[in-house]
Structure 1
Amino acid sequence: MRSLFHLPNWVYHLITFSVWSIVPGSWLYCAYFLTINFSLHHQLTNLLSILPQPSRLLFSYALLELVFSIYYFFRAWTAQKRLHRFNHEPEFMRESLERAARSGLRTQASIDRYPPCDDLKRSSRQAGSQTRINDDQVSSVSSSSGFSSLASSSSTAPSTPPLSPSFGSVTELKPLAWDDPRAVDFRSHQVLWFGNCKYSEIGRENLQEWITWVLFNRPRSKSLRESAEAVLTDQICSLFEARAGAVLPPGYNPRLRTRVIRLTLDPIRVRAHPLALYVATSTVSWTIKQLLFRCEFVERKSGGKLKYLIRKPIGWDDQPVKSRTLPFVFIHGLGLGLIQYTLFLNYLANSSWARARPVMILLQPSISLAFFDRQHLSPPSKEDMTADMTKAIERLGFSETGFEILGHSYGTIVAGWIIKAMGSLVRRVCLIDPVCFCEWEGHVCHNFLYAEPLPGLERLLRYFLATELGIAKTLHRHFDWPANILWPTDLPKSSAVFLAGCDSILDAYRIHTYLKEYGMGDRIVLSPSAAHGQLIFEDKEPFRAIKAWIEGQSISMN
């Protein structure tokens, strides 16, 4: 049986066009219906009178889609409003960016090279192959770009004014040489935040503009340039220059004004999605829930926004704490909600391993095409989620035993929140297609939301997921990347990471190298030919390896 992830491009295009065309087709059909009826009453032209009579039933449906599309774009317009900045201490932001800048310095940038991946043609767009500068090109680039090498001119980064005590101080970094492989690698991936431009196109004020967004979630203004916050921005800029091995030219490049990625400030990119799609996904999701209810799951709420399904074995609460089986928490990623996880849900519902322990399935309506749910446009923040999860853990008795977590894709971000908030209770962690690592490099944001999608599967994902209202708003207005980062040091020793080599969203090989740098090489499984989601969606060898790890069996790590 052919994998759904490796179908001919025309199949993906046909599916995408068939669903996309419902909305414009409905507008055209309504216009056709009204025109025909008007012509029959007024005998305008013979041509119109001989056309086939439109169906009133079909007109009723088309009119419903038309009205829904107007409401849909109204909600999209209201969703464009920028939210208040995230509430982070300046010290936390400074430390996060310092750790990001120092990442990759332990090795000589021995990044794993990409193997062929013809089905997704990922090498044609990933920065790792497109923008990385070869060693034999370095001398010619450095001489013509206008950069001055920090390492050749000074042993320390440029000095900046002292910070206000509330911000702490930025630890200086010894500048790398321009041709240091670690500097070359850093530059080639930093440009993703600037529309994958050439590094020589970035001016220092462009970098300061981006850092201002990262630190304070707002545009760079004149008042900010004269404040203590501007000093922190300037110091972080100098830190990044030292890491890149080059002082950026002064000034601002206006050509990058519309290309720089400032996720929570940029307009939300939304495309029309038909009412029929939401009705269909809601119906199937409801059906899956009913099947889970038959398997003794029940739906519960905790606090203001946390919804989850839970099943506990009879008598589990009455057992001594030491003899209880460890509860299992599953956190799904963005997409069609529970629909895309039917294989894994069947395992959780019916396997003897899962039936012997409490199983908790977190629900996330904002990233599940759940248009009719109240939380479709109001995803929980990190603070909301961890507070509600803490209450649920206490109520369910998991605080006595601890628990294990499996997160997939966007679910790894939520898993990271929980791990950092209640790490002493998290016994084991399994992360599949993790988007919670190396978020400062911009691969996830650039590939999923901004880069031109490649023909086929990527275009399907761009339409159905990236430009869907709830998902787009979650990513563009609620994506708190410093809080979303999970550091390898936060993970318990009993952890596993599963990566797909042909992942078109995250850079699996860079994540692989990054985690090995932290000594996690024996806890990583990388499937070279798999696409994003394929590891857990299809019953193949990687899925069986995931089940084996969950059940505590030994598997082959690489």
Structure 2
Amino acid sequence: MPMDEHLPATTQEKLIFMKNSRANDISEKAQESRKRTKSFYLVLFFTVIPVWSAVPLSWAYVLYAFYSGSASRRDWRSTSLFAIAASEVIFSMYYFCMSRYIAGPTPMATNSVTELQAAYARVLRVGMGIDSDSEPFGEDNTTLDPMDPRAQDFRNCLRTWFDRAPWSSIRKENVYAWLYWSFFNDKSTTMEEIPKDRRILLDEIVDLLERRAGMQLPEGFNPEVRTLRLTVDPVTVAPRPFVWYIILSTINWILRWRLESKWHAHLGTFEGLDYILRVPQDWSPSTGPRPVVFLHGLGLGLLQYGHFVEAMLKAEPDRPFLVPLFPHTSQEIFHPRYLRPIGRHESAQVIGGLLKELGWIDGDEGEQEIKSGEERSDKPKSRTGVAMLSHSNGTFIHGWLLKAHPGMIARSCFVDPVVFCQWEGDLCYNFCYRKCTTGMELLIKYFVGMELGVAYYIQRHFCWSSNTLWYDEIPNAHDPDKATFIVGGKDDLVNGPRVRRYLQSHGIDRGLYYDPLGRHGQALLIDDPAFLEVLKWLHGPTTL
């Protein structure tokens, strides 16, 4: 029936308004299709396929050698080639077994329900102009209008966890399945199988979520909507040859030796944590520059970060440097901790213990105890606390240390931070679920994200609430001398503009360096302006 003949004018106008509003609703816009670029195919054919093909070619050669009898030949060329191929075959079977092993249930314990409730309460306040914990969203029955820009923005961000499906296609049971994972790190089969106490909790969260989104969720379950549940979804691993790890281990060993011989660094281990330490001979803990701790990210270990570390050592020859090494994020398959990632509480205990052992911090929180007048001495005391520099995944560890021991970090510099806006899901989506269309995305996906140890760490040990750092958990966040943030607008992993907006919404501006064209990892290039910002931070006040 024609609408204009059977509806009152007011109703007709209302429907037209709702239709137009829905068309302009950013949470309803279909995800734009992305075409593969030339760089994607260049990386695919000249990098990925050659590395990937080493394993099937080795299998083919070994099978051919046994079939043709060439495996019994005595000449050294045939014997060497067969030995290399056979080692790849044996390693591929080991790699397959380990891939099956890590595909099992996550060994990570969930955070307390109280902590998760507090995290969700903070998520609901983001963008609402409510900063105080004493003003939880929804306590006064606040419900946003569906067309309120804050509600639209919230819906648009939340749908990332549902493979960026239009908001109207998401049903209530889809949201319950996602919340059940994010709270209890587990799958839920049906609504009826959710325990009663957990169902009550989820009902309260869904009610608040609907108020914040400005819309009630339709009943039912939409099987066409994919719900992203990182630590219970299948682990995505791509095989790579044994020679890959041999070459990588050899290069990293050479780089460690170079740091020892050229830069007089010391390689040590503290409670299972390997580290690189350089302390100048004439450095004084009371008058010398404040020590720097660098926390590296995912990738290839020193092969990826060695040049950056050497540039810092060269720029600050009189300053102590400590670089903890994390084998689970560096593809060090021969290391005993390769499949035992360091977690939130262990990192705070071990790294905090190492800094105390070095005399760089004093006490559990890095604060000097206040002594009485009789106990005070005229002798100069060491300045406790370190300057902490972190990149990418290292910002997670940086955040864990700030939460556990805020007093031991006097200055902070976050480069390409992935620790902010975790609730929006961009990092998990881009790193684990997004289809690659550019060469850089394919490089990150295949050579980092789909590596056995990295995949196990990300897809079985990721906790969004622990990994999220809030602005008020950073001491002196508004002081540019004590807190610096380097963010790229074209970051391939996180939404740089949104990270910038989050920080600026809380008054963080002068300490924020934002490059609209900056890519993830660009600050590691010593001729890039972002690297100069890192040096500027290093050269900053050393007595703070």
TM-score, reference length from structure 1: 0.80
Match of 1:495 in 2: 483
Give the alignment partner of residue 20 of structure 1, picking from 52, 56, 59: 52
* 1:361 alignment counterpart: 323
- Residue 361 of structure 2 aligns to a residue whose secondary structure is helix
Structure 1: distance between partners of 2:531 and 2:204:
46
Q: 2: CA distance between counterparts of 1:407 and 1:190? A: 28
What SS does structure 2 have at the residue aligned with 1:310? strand
The CA distance in 1 between the partners of 2:344 and 2:217, in whole Å, is 35
CA gap 1:350/1:182 in 2 versus in 1, 3 angstroms: same
Decide whether aligned partners of structure 1 residues 70 and 430 sit closer, same or farther in structure 2, where only a CA change above 3 A counts: same
Q: In structure 1, list runs of 5 or more residues that go unmatched.
A: 1-5, 42-53, 108-167
Check whether the contact 2:170–2:217 (CA below 8 A) recurs between aligned residues: yes
Asked if 1 retains the 8 angstrom alpha-carbon contact of 2:107 and 2:460, the reply is no
Determine which of 494, 514, 519 is the counterpart of 1:526: 514
Matched, 1:336 2:300: yes
- The 3 A distance-change label for structure 1 pair 171 and 356 is farther
Across the aligned residues of Structure 1 and Structure 2, the Cα RMSD in angstroms comes to 2.5
Question: 1:20-62: per-residue Cα shift (whole Å, max 9, x none)?
Answer: 1111121222233333338999xxxxxxxxxxxx944222211
Contact 1:86 1:480 in 2 (8 A): no
- Name the SS for the 1:496 alignment partner: strand
Per the TM alignment, residue 315 of structure 1 is displaced from its structure 2 partner at its CA by 5.0
Q: Is the 8 A contact 1:306 1:385 kept in 2?
A: no
1:201, distance to aligned residue in structure 2 (A) = 1.5
Residue 75 of structure 1: aligned partner: 98
Given the alignment, which residue of 501, 506, 515 partners 2:503?
Answer: 515
Distance 1:28 1:492, change over 3 A: same
Contact in 2 for aligned 1:449/1:462 (Cα 8 Å)? yes
Q: Distance in 1 between matches of 2:281 and 2:198?
A: 56
User: Structure 1's 38 and 430: CA in aligned 2 closer, same or farther, altered over 3 A?
Assistant: closer
For residue 249 of structure 1, what is the amino acid of its counterpart?
P
Residue 438 of structure 1 and its aligned partner are, at CA, apart by: 0.7
Distance 2:42 2:530 in 1: 25
Bigger shift: 482-491 or 77-86? Answer: 77-86
Q: Deviations over 1:469-509 (max 9, x none)?
A: 00000001111211111111111221111112211111001
| Counterpart position of 2:253 | 286
1:132 aligned residue? none
| C-alpha deviation, 1:535, in angstroms | 1.5
The one of 444, 467, 470 equivalent to 1:484 is: 467
2:160 to 163, 188, 192: 192
Q: Aligned partners of 2:259 and 2:209: how far apart in 1?
A: 50
Q: Is the 8 A contact 2:312 2:535 kept in 1?
A: no
User: Which of 363-372 and 6-15 deviates more?
Assistant: 6-15
3-state SS, counterpart of residue 398 of structure 1: coil
Percent of matched pairs sharing the same residue: 32
- SS of the residue 2:82 aligns to: helix
- Give the number of equivalent residue pairs: 470
Q: What is residue 97 of structure 1 aligned with on the other side?
A: 120
Q: CA deviation at 1:538?
A: 4.3
Pick aligned residue for 1:297 from 265, 271, 274: 265
Give CA deviations for 1:302-343 in whole Å, capped at 9, x if unaligned.
22x422111222254xx4x54242110000000001111233
CA distance in 1, matches of 2:139, 2:242: 53
Native 8 Å contact 1:503 1:532 kept in 2 = yes
Q: Match of 2:274, as an amino acid?
A: K
Code of the residue aligned with 1:72 in structure 2: it is Y
Instruction: Indicate yes or no: 2:86 matched with 1:66.
Output: no
Measured after TM superposition, the shift of residue 174 of structure 1 is 1.4
Equivalent residues of 1:500, 1:535 under 8 A apart: no
1-side partners of 2:268 and 2:71: how far apart?
A: 56
The AA in structure 1 aligned to 2:351 is M
- TM-score by length of structure 2 reads 0.82
Distance 1:39 1:448 in 2: 43
The match for 1:242 is 211
Q: 1:86 aligns with which of 85, 94, 109?
A: 109
Give the one of 326, 332, 338 matched to 1:376.
338
Quick one: distance in 2 between partners of 1:73 and 1:506? 31
In structure 1, what residue type is equivalent to 2:514?
Answer: L
Decide whether aligned partners of structure 1 residues 90 and 431 sit closer, same or farther in structure 2, where only a CA change above 3 A counts.
same
Question: What are the residue-to-residue correspondences of 1:130-529 with 2, within 5 Å?
Answer: 171=139, 174-220=142-188, 225-256=194-225, 259-294=226-261, 295-303=263-271, 305-316=272-283, 319=284, 322-351=286-315, 353=316, 355-400=317-362, 401-493=384-476, 494-529=482-517
* 2:224 match: secondary structure: helix
C-alpha displacement of 1:466: 0.8
Following TM superposition, by how much is the alpha carbon of 1:455 offset from its aligned partner in structure 2, in angstroms?
3.1
CA apart distance, 1:301: 2.2
Aligned partners of 1:57, 1:40: CA distance in 2, in Å? 12
Q: CA deviation at 1:456?
A: 1.4
Distance 1:169 1:202 in 2: 23
Kindly state the Cα deviation for residue 200 of structure 1 after the two structures are TM-superposed.
Answer: 1.3
Deviation track 1:270-319 (CA, whole Å, cap 9, x = no partner) reads 1101111111111111111111112221122222x422111222254xx4
Distance 1:547 1:224, change over 3 A: farther
Of 225-234 and 393-402, deviating more is 225-234
Q: Which amino acid aligns with 2:88?
A: E
Shift of residue 175 of structure 1? 1.4
Counterpart CA distance in 1 for 2:280 and 2:342 is: 29
* Paired residue secondary structure (1:254): coil
C-alpha distance 414-176 of structure 1, shift in aligned 2 (>3 A): same
Q: State the shift of 1:224 in Å.
A: 6.0
Alpha-carbon spacing, 1:418–1:173, altered in 2? closer, same or farther (3 Å): farther
